[in-house]
Amino acid sequence: MHGDSPYDPADGDWQTLVTFFNPTEAFLLRGCLQAAGVPAVVADAQLVQTHSLLASAIPVRVQVPERRFAEAEQVVAAFHRGDFALPDDEPPPG
């Protein structure tokens, strides 16, 4: 999928880090992981978007290489703490 990190065999196989029922959240986390230097891919987003009635039964997976898993868990913790959030009180650019 466009935007996914390339596979590097030296990093090991892709492992599921977290799952979401909302593809948008999965893509946001993938971007945070990639910004932190951790390769990441989103799996099953198209399936959920195609079969929206089954969306609650089909999780969207965010996967990272097995050798980068611990590093990725730290990024997930920062994501949940809100470290990547944009401030609400900042005026728009322009």
DSSP per-residue codes, 52-72: GGGGGGSPEEEEEEGGGHHHH
Domain contains 1: no
76-86 pLDDT, tens digit per residue, is 999 999 988 88
Domain count, the chain: 1
- Give a yes or no: residue 22 inside a domain: yes
Q: Which residues contact 46 (CB under 8 A, 6 or more apart)?
A: 1
Domain assignment of residue 52, yes or no: yes
pLDDT score for 46:
83
Range of the domain at 24: 15-81
Q: For residues 24 and 81, what is the distance between their CA atoms, to the nearest angstrom?
A: 18
Confirm whether 86 is domain-assigned: no
In angstroms, the CA 70 to CA 67 distance is 8
- Asked if residue 62 is part of any domain, the answer here is yes
Residue 91, domain member (yes or no):
no
> What tens digit of pLDDT does each residue of 13-41 get?
999 999 998 889 999 999 999 999 999 99
CATH classification of the domain holding 35: 3.30.70
Q: Which residues, in sequence order, are bridge partners of residue 63?
A: 16, 41
